[in-house]
A and B are shown apart, each in its own frame.
Chain A
Amino acid sequence: MATVHVENIKKTYDKGSVLALDNVSFDVKSGELFGLIGPDGAGKTSLFRILTTLLLPDGGHAQVAGLDVVNDLWKIRRIVGYMPGKFSLYQDLSIEENLQFFATVFNTTVEKNYHLIEDIYVQIEPFKKRLAGKLSGGMKQKLALCCALIHEPKVLFLDEPTTGVDPVSRKEFWDMLDRLKTRGITIVVSTPYMDEASRCDRIALIQKGKILELDTLTKIIGRHAQNLYAVNADNRYQLMHDLRKPAEIESSFAFGEEQHVTLRTPENGENYLIDYLTQTGHSDITVRKIDPTIEDVFIKLMLENQ
């Protein structure tokens, strides 16, 4: 049975004028690390708040560990851990006071479940007397995760835990999630960083309240094979402009040091691009046919859904 079951969930704001979630359905399996990947405004936070019983849906059903998010809210609150996107701990309590507070609220002790948080907590323990409001972003993030874990939840909901965090700390955070997963905790995590998709068992790509795709990363990428070329030349600025002009070019987007280009007519794409760029006066031209990244797929799906 699915640990999280979401069925046609709908949510609107401002008397129905803003559609935040548009009949969203998906299941998260027990023990899975499931990623909701999408930009700001996609509906990720609304979905998390519904699943953690903090917001009522306008329509549809959802269950967490077999419990209904509307009718069984008190039972759900006991078994889920929730780390909101906005830092929500008590700023005027210290690290250890916050942790004790959350343990007490859930009728447990820090000692009883210390094993769950140990490898995260040791990193902030030297500062345990410091007020939460005085912590740096990375330390706040670690404390929030400890507080969300201290009652040994069955399901952990993490809303954009890595937003605004540098690449090294992001990587460390995902390593922590990997270790939590080995303890059997089901984790649902949202992120706007597409590259974090590779850290999840399965992902849902979400945009404007709709799920665009849902599967393992490999399968999603496999489903969206396209004639994609990585293009480079000496004058990047000019290259970006010139790749926008011809009707044969369907899309051209910057990806790191290269432009990723798709063509309307798939035949001889490499030759076409080299010829075109040579004619327009570019030098040091390189064109490679490549497999899409998850970000290429997301862009493709966004364009299709426009």
Chain B
Amino acid sequence: MPQPVIYTHQLTRKFGDFVAVDAITFEVQPGEIFGFLGANGAGKTTAMRILCGLLSPTSGQANVAGFDVYRQNEEIKKQIGYMSQKFSLYENLTVRENIQFFGGIYGLSRQELKDKTNVLIDRLGLHNEANKLVGALPLGWKQKISFSVAILHRPKIVFLDEPTGGVDPITRRQFWDMIYEAAHDGITVFVTTHYMDEAEYCDRVSIMVDGAIAALDTPAGLKKQFNATNMDEVFLQLARGAKRGD
């Protein structure tokens, strides 16, 4: 068994009396597509912020890409990529400028930046749009560019926070093709989504309820365990029992 790329043990985060993340224990293996599900307010965002090195836990252990979340959070930030619908690209920079800006932040050299920018524009078929402002592009393209930028520095893990919200059904699937390719190249994918069909595309899925991990297995295993025909039913069964509102 290889070393897990994410490891948590009894990881807990409190805000005053409120236990946002309640003693979660799980591991994610390298190259895995790990779906991190839960209702609004279940504690996903808090857990994800801890794993990205942005927030310290109250107690418990967590290790990301071999680094400790308490002491080595700056190291963690160098090993990961992050993308969400809320924060993606600078609308008033061009596609090319965005790629170079984020690549620069992630520490790529001038030559690497030049090469990777051209490869990326080529792969996304964006020759005609490369010098256009990102703000003028459709959401689906922005999301694809944003994902590509998040893995430009070949991170060990990429965190995707509801990456496909609102995009059309074809683009949503093209986006998942990109996720599969990244995972195939060895990048671990940690993804949240409200589309339950997308949960089926994950290797394993955890479902958070009231700060705790209520279930964790492969999609097939979860469906069997909850006697459900699809992930939507699994999710409804678990999340309906939630005590804390969003």
Contacts and interface: CB of A to CB of B under 8 A. Distances in A.
Contacts of A295: 169
Contact of B139 (A41, A170, A195, A302): A41
A26 interface: no
Interface string A182-214: 000000000011110000000000010000000
A39 B40 contact: no
Contacts, number: 103
A240 B138 CA distance: 26
B169 A299 contact: yes
Interface string B215-246: 00001100000000011100110011010011
B41 to A, nearest CB: 6
A136 B171 contact: no
Contacts of B166: 39-40, 160, 163, 192
A157 interface: no
Interface stretch (B67-75, B94-102, B192-200): B192-200
A297 B196 CA distance: 19
A166 interface: yes
Contacts of B176: 254
B40 A256 contact: no
B192 to A, nearest CB: 10
A281 B236 CA distance: 37
A255 B172 CA distance: 11
Interface residues on B, range: 35 or more
Interface string A228-241: 00000000110010
B40 A136 contact: yes
B168 interface: yes
Contacts of B170: 253, 299, 302-303
A16 interface: no
Contact of A166 (B39, B167, B200): B39
Contacts of B171: 39
A139 B235 contact: no
A179 interface: no
B139 A167 contact: no
Interface string A13-38: 00000000000000000000000001
A257 B139 contact: no
B177 A240 contact: yes
A169 B39 CA distance: 8
B220 A39 contact: no
Contacts of B236: 167-168, 171
Contacts of A41: 138-139
Contact of B41 (A42, A138, A167, A255): A138
B226 to A, nearest CB: 14
B169 A165 contact: no
B40 A138 contact: yes
Contacts of A255: 197
B194 A167 contact: yes
B180 interface: yes
Nearest to A14: B136
Given A40-B167, A167-B194, A192-B166, A136 B230 contact: no
Nearest to B143: A40
B40 A257 contact: no
A253 B40 contact: no
A166 B240 CA distance: 11
A164 B169 contact: no
B168 A137 contact: no
Contacts of B200: 256-257
B163 interface: no
Contacts of A171: 236
A147 B123 CA distance: 47
Given A253-B170, A256-B231, A257-B220, A39 B139 contact: yes
Contacts of B167: 39-40, 192
Contacts of B240: 168
Interface of A: 38-42, 123, 136-139, 160, 163-171, 192-195, 207, 236-237, 240, 253-257, 295, 298-299, 302-303
Interface of B: 38-41, 85, 138-140, 162, 165-171, 173, 176-177, 180, 184, 194-197, 200-201, 219-220, 230-232, 235-236, 239-240, 242, 245-246
Given A40-B168, A253-B170, 19 more contacts: A40-B138, A136-B40, A138-B40, A138-B245, A139-B245, A164-B40, A164-B85, A164-B165, A166-B39, A166-B40, A166-B194, A166-B239, A167-B194, A167-B196, A254-B201, A255-B197, A256-B231, A257-B219, A299-B170
10 contacts: A39-B166, A39-B167, A138-B40, A138-B41, A166-B246, A169-B246, A254-B176, A256-B201, A298-B168, A299-B169
